Homo-oligomer: A and B are copies of this chain.
Amino acid sequence: MLTDQQILRIPGPTPIPPSVNRAMSQPMIGHRGQSTSEMIQDIRPKLKRVFGTQQEVMILTASGTAGLETAVVNTVAPGEEVLVVVTGAFGERFAKICKAYEIKTHVLDVEWGQAADPEAVKAFLKEHPEVKAVFATFCETSTGVLNPVQELAAAVKEESDALFIVDGVSCVGGTETKMDDWGIDVVVTGSQKAFMLPAGLAFVAASERAWVKIEANPQPRFYLDLKKHRDNILKDTTPFTPALSILFGLQQVLQLMEEEGLEQVYARHQLMMKMTRAAFQALDVPLLTTDDAASPTVTAVKPADFDAEAFRKIMKQEFGFEVAGGQQHLAKAIFRIGHMGYCSPADMLQAIAIMEIGVLKAGKEIELGKGVRAAQQIYLNEGKLAQ
């Protein structure tokens, strides 16, 4: 096998574009100097467009989980009551963080692989009028579900005054996000998913309603205190030492996104999702989610007649190709393909062509090329959108 080739198609981190790698290898500069300020000044409006907000998007040097914790400790006071909508492993993480702070945490459990139902959230809130915040996951990375956060936001607003807080880690930047228009109060994401960067930065934005709560919230916090972050980013700086090389990369990533056009970026992700799903459907290999609940950034496949782990092992050995396995009770039952960030329709055609070989070698009789053909047809029918 060709050595030194890794084809990384896990749901984050994604491969890093060459120009971003070049940007990240710039020499270190002082993070309190003018060059860093100018870089942050350049980044701010572009990051707002990705979030669909007029609010400041704050940049924390931390991984995604710290972003989730930031949302919790800034918006919920000790002893308050919250609802966490759990559709998979990352929904559970929100609940765990809340419980760590002795917040009264209700959990609305949704079967893994299904999307959250706004009506169920409304019904829950009607029965629990003391809930002060509702937490949900935009793309549930563990299942490849894209939850309907716009509808969930509307449901929360209709039924309560609770803040609506969204973990957007594995999809913001790869799918349309209109934080302000949709009435989302806090959006969190990380650098290593659709942002095509190494892990190390978390991005958090909060609505005006959320800021009122954040200002008054007595919950102790220091590094994750959003007030400090906002005061500093308004002056084009950060309260603590930033991960400077990733910041160099972020500036270039945002530049690339603007060059491609955000609408085109989102259309490309939709196209890759449809190509991937059409391929497995053509090969008669079941998907975990319905088309309606599917995420444009990650697809979970649940093979019925071959072993998911054997398949992953074959793909790694033969092609240096890596997809993710399942988590928790889906640990050996599914595999998950990331198609986000630095990933193109051409990359998905490659992934599908070699996965057909993997499926065959894992023991399922298939017509070779059939999945590729289905994906090619999607590309030909819908590819215009992503041009």
Chain A: residues with CB nearer than 8 A to chain B?
1-5, 7, 17-20, 25, 256, 259-260, 264, 268, 318-321, 342-347, 349-350, 352-354, 356-357, 360, 367-370, 372-373, 376-377, 379-380, 383, 386-387
Instruction: Kindly identify which residue among B20, B260, B353 contacts A376, using a CB–CB cutoff of 8 Å.
Output: B353
Kindly report which residue of chain B lies nearest to residue A317, judged by CB atoms: B387
* 7 nearest CB pairs, A to B: A369-B373, A350-B350, A369-B369, A349-B353, A2-B344, A4-B17, A368-B373
Known: A259-B3, A260-B2. A347 touches B350 (CB 8 A): yes
Measured CB to CB, the closest approach of chain B to A365, in angstroms, equals: 13
Inter-chain contact B357/A376, CB cutoff 8 Å: yes
Kindly report which residue of chain B lies nearest to residue A375, judged by CB atoms: B353
Copies of the protein in its oligomer: 2
Q: Which residues of B contact A370 (CB under 8 A)?
A: 369
28 CB < 8 A contacts A-B = A1-B264, A2-B343, A3-B259, A3-B260, A4-B342, A5-B17, A5-B342, A7-B346, A318-B387, A319-B345, A320-B344, A320-B346, A346-B350, A346-B354, A347-B350, A350-B350, A350-B353, A352-B353, A353-B353, A353-B372, A353-B376, A357-B380, A360-B380, A367-B373, A368-B373, A369-B370, A369-B373, A369-B376
Instruction: Kindly identify which residue among B4, B346, B354, B367 contacts A19, using a CB–CB cutoff of 8 Å.
Output: B4
Measured CB to CB, the closest approach of chain B to A34, in angstroms, equals: 28
Cα distance, A194 to B352, chains bound together (Å): 27
Q: Which residues of B contact A2 (CB under 8 A)?
A: 260, 268, 342-344
Cα distance, A129 to B60, chains bound together (Å): 79
Kindly report which residue of chain B lies nearest to residue A352, judged by CB atoms: B353
Measured CB to CB, the closest approach of chain B to A122, in angstroms, equals: 39
Q: Which residues of B contact A7 (CB under 8 A)?
A: 346
Q: Which residues of B contact A357 (CB under 8 A)?
A: 376, 379-380
Q: Which residues of B contact A376 (CB under 8 A)?
A: 353, 356-357, 368-369
Cα distance, A319 to B345, chains bound together (Å): 8
Cα distance, A360 to B386, chains bound together (Å): 19
Q: A4-B19, A369-B370, A369-B372 are in contact. List 13 more A-B contacts (CB 8 A).
A: A1-B268, A1-B386, A2-B260, A3-B256, A3-B259, A319-B344, A319-B346, A353-B376, A356-B376, A357-B380, A360-B380, A369-B369, A372-B372
Cα distance, A229 to B112, chains bound together (Å): 68
Measured CB to CB, the closest approach of chain B to A349, in angstroms, equals: 4
Kindly report which residue of chain B lies nearest to residue A6, judged by CB atoms: B18
Cα distance, A379 to B357, chains bound together (Å): 9
Most buried by B among A321, A347, A357, A369: A369
Cα distance, A345 to B5, chains bound together (Å): 11
Inter-chain contact B353/A5, CB cutoff 8 Å: no
Measured CB to CB, the closest approach of chain B to A139, in angstroms, equals: 19
Instruction: Kindly identify which residue among B4, B350, B380 contacts A256, using a CB–CB cutoff of 8 Å.
Output: B4
Measured CB to CB, the closest approach of chain B to A280, in angstroms, equals: 14
Q: Which residues of B contact A367 (CB under 8 A)?
A: 373
Cα distance, A335 to B68, chains bound together (Å): 52
Instruction: Kindly identify which residue among B1, B349, B380, B387 contacts A1, using a CB–CB cutoff of 8 Å.
Output: B387
Measured CB to CB, the closest approach of chain B to A157, in angstroms, equals: 36
